[in-house]
Structure 1
């Protein structure tokens, strides 16, 4: 199916940083995959002047303790080389983050890989061992990264309580990122405003619920508003490919390939004024688009549906066709518009 509409780019950008450039190796990082480099990374970040600057990470394997984590600061660019790998140290913690952006602004994180420790995790509880945690932050860009094998999410975006007030994250861009083989979600978008996800892949998530490629699901007390997911591939996840779950408003999924997920390709529950348009949605086990109670004002248009609703066994073997569960609309939904310009190939 041809791409029918180009997604706009984000209208915000991180503020200019200072001219300082600091190499993590100048602060003791070894990059040999054996020595714990967490403190060295933190020392390099903390050495940036008030105006900010760039922390460079040359190629190498950097062992990071997620229980401590690397805490990012405002007005900085964490610039990793293509050969950079941040390798999470095995731990038993329920909550642990390799990179942590908490209440910061004007941050760019680019390049390299984060490799989680789900295969060597020492505990059995918890689901919050994330590669990158972003909370209550503004103007954050994440680009050209590969994040895999995390005990929780590849990337988690959300808000934080400041006193009695919930502060959401705002004006975030995820671009050219791959999140693969993470345990809970490839990407979680929680309490936030204006999040853009472009040209990325969210694949092979599974191990604990929901197991979604992308889960837009704000915690109680706030919403996720003005979300755009465009030109992404969402494939092979144990749960839904993309989930819009309660307290989600003004979300658009456009020009994506959503295929071979064991749940629905796209699932909406209690979402309001959202759009699913110009996607290829195929071979998803439970169905193409599932519209569940509480969903209001959903427009489904210009999509191409193919072979949704077959069993996982049939899909894996390549046997048979005839999945017919392309759009399934449940009770207690309002203003659901399935346009005539959708195409159904099976």
Structure 2
């Protein structure tokens, strides 16, 4: 076990975890906890969903009223405003957003997913569009009232083949699938269009069934100042799962200043066809799987994180992992790793375990280890 290093420095890092971070984003702007999220282009028109018949009483189906408000925006786009209230939304039909728009939910606005038996259903859909912002309010899924027992794709927000998308200051909970899912879309000729330039800022994904956040076929995704917790009910059950479907990759991802806690699977999973992911300044704790699990991921950085109390270990680098750097992290009280053959505890590997098949792994001396 490597010796512990300066714990005073670690306390300082934990204290700084609540301070703003600045991340470079396309176009040269910076994004951070101060609210400096990237501007998305749209017109000045503002439309209130109640003007299109939304009642917000929690009982009337407001799906068509929302869609009418979205469709009423002019070609230049604009903002659809959602005042405080409980809006029942049918996720089977979904609210399909359009380019150059902002869906602006008031702090007291809640989108309540209508119970259904569908394997695939999404409260909000952003597919093959650009310059989109979703902000404020809550999205509450129907996992506790779901009529079926199969499927895992009942998402709060689905982003597919979209670009220049910001999701900020939203609370997403109790979805049958993911709180938020980012991925690619197929064109008519079968080509895959990944999502690009997606920013997830100051979001909470809590108590969802499959993942808090999935990052699939994508380029340039930034996730910061957010919480992903208490996920579980079907596999993988991760707080954040970076896992593109076959046929494309996930590349250029930053996960910073986030809390990833108490998830049934890994806190953060990097699973196949994943490259250039940085996980930094996060608290990753009390997950029932590993804190960070990397399988066939490459060119990734795990640094300046507090990784503690994860049941299967802190960081696990499995076969196919290569060019992974693990530095300046504090590891504490992580549960034992296990031998795949004997299932016996391997205490020496419980903080950082590295498969023999992993290549070019750099675990620096400035990590600290406790218990």
Q: TM-score with structure 1 length normalisation?
A: 0.95
1:170 to 196, 208, 211: 196
The residue matched to 2:23 in structure 1 has which SS?
coil
Does residue 54 in structure 1 map to residue 114 in structure 2? no
CA distance in 2, matches of 1:185, 1:328: 24
Query: 1:332 Cα shift?
Result: 1.1
Shift of 1:161: 1.1
Residue 284 of structure 1 corresponds to which residue in structure 2?
310
Alignment of structure 1 residues 30-49 onto 2, 5 Å:
30-49=55-74
Partner of 2:343: none
1:228 aligns with 2:254: yes
Q: Is 1:330 matched up with 2:355? A: yes
Q: Distance in 2 between matches of 1:11 and 1:169?
A: 14
Is 1:81 aligned to 2:106, yes or no? yes
Aligned equivalent of 1:317? none
Q: Structure 1 stretches of 5 or more lacking a match?
A: 312-321
**1:150 counterpart = 2:175:** yes
Residue 112 (structure 1) aligned with residue 127 (structure 2): no
Is the partner of 2:246 in helix, strand or coil?
A: coil
**Helix, strand or coil for the counterpart of 2:244?**
coil
Moved more, 300-309 or 3-12: 3-12
Distance 1:144 1:323 in 2: 40
Indicate if the aligned counterparts of 1:179 and 1:201 stay in contact, CA closer than 8 A: yes
Pick from 42, 45, 48: which aligns with 1:20? 45
- Distance, in Å, in 2 between the alignment partners of 1:331 and 1:191 is 28
> Secondary structure of 1:270's partner?
strand
The residue correspondences of 1:1-346 to structure 2 (distance < 5 A) are: 1=10, 2-3=12-13, 6-12=21-27, 13-162=38-187, 163-309=189-335, 325-346=350-371
Whether contact under 8 Å (2:40, 2:133) holds in the other structure is no
Q: Which moved more, 1:161-170 or 1:145-154?
A: 161-170
Q: Any runs of at least 4 consecutive aligned residues in structure 1 with deviations exceeding 4 A, and if so which?
A: 4-7
Aligned-residue offset at 1:137: 0.3
CA separation in 1, counterparts of 2:177 and 2:84? 25
Distance in 2 between the 1:14 and 1:89 partners?
32
SS of 1:42 mapped into structure 2: helix
> How far did residue 147 of structure 1 move?
0.1
Are the equivalent residues in 2 in contact too, given 1:14–1:139 (CA < 8 A)? no
Matched position secondary structure for 2:144 = helix
Q: CA deviation at 1:9?
A: 4.3
Q: Residue in 2 aligned with 1:318?
A: none
> In 2, distance between residues paired with 1:334 and 1:197?
27
Figure out how many residues of one structure are paired with residues of the other and give that number: 336
Distance 1:68 1:9 in 2: 36
For structure 2, list consecutive stretches of 5 or more residues without a partner in the other structure. Answer: 1-9, 28-37, 338-346
User: Is 1:307–1:324's contact at 8 Å kept on the other side of the alignment?
Assistant: no
Aligned-pair CA distance for 1:7: 4.7
Q: Per the alignment, in what secondary structure is the counterpart of residue 246 of structure 1?
A: strand
TM-score (norm 2): 0.88
Provide the rounded CA distance (Å) in 1 between the counterparts of 2:225 and 2:195.
Answer: 21
Paired with 1:58 and 1:67, the residues of 2 have a C-alpha distance of 23
Alpha-carbon shift at residue 122 of structure 1 (Å): 0.1
With over 3 angstroms needed to count, the CA separation of the structure-2 counterparts of 1:310 and 1:325, relative to structure 1, is closer
Q: Cα distance, 1:324 vs. partner?
A: 6.1
Q: CA RMSD in A?
A: 1.4
Shift in Å at residue 15 of structure 1?
Answer: 3.6
